[in-house]
Amino acid sequence: MLAAWIVRLLLYAVLAYVILSIIKGIAGSGRRSAPPPPRPAPLDTLVKDDVCGTYLPRRDSIRAVIDGQERFFCSQDCRKKAKDGGGPSQ
Ligand SMILES: [Zn+2]
The per-residue DSSP string of 6-21 comes to HHHHHHHHHHHHHHHH
Give pLDDT, residue 41.
58
Q: What does the pLDDT read at residue 28?
A: 73
> CB atoms < 10 A from the CB of 60, how many?
10
pTM, 2 dp: 0.48
> 79 C-alpha vs ligand 1 centroid, how far in Å?
8
**How confident is the model over 46-61, as a mean pLDDT?**
94
Parse the chain into domains and list their residue ranges.
1-36, 42-84
Predicted confidence band at 42 (pLDDT cuts at 50, 70, 90)? confident
Q: Is 11 in contact with 3 (CB distance < 8 Å)?
A: no
User: From ligand 1's centre to the CA of 4, what distance in Å?
Assistant: 76
Bridge partner residues of 46 (DSSP): 57
Condensed to tens digits (0 to 9), the pLDDT of residues 21-38 reads: 999 988 776 556 666 766
Query: Closest Cα to residue 52, out of 80, 74, 70, 67?
Result: 74
C-alpha closest to that of 66 among 47, 50, 53 = 50
The alpha carbon of 78 and the centre of ligand 1 are apart by a number of angstroms equal to 5
CA of 81 to the centre of ligand 1 (A): 9
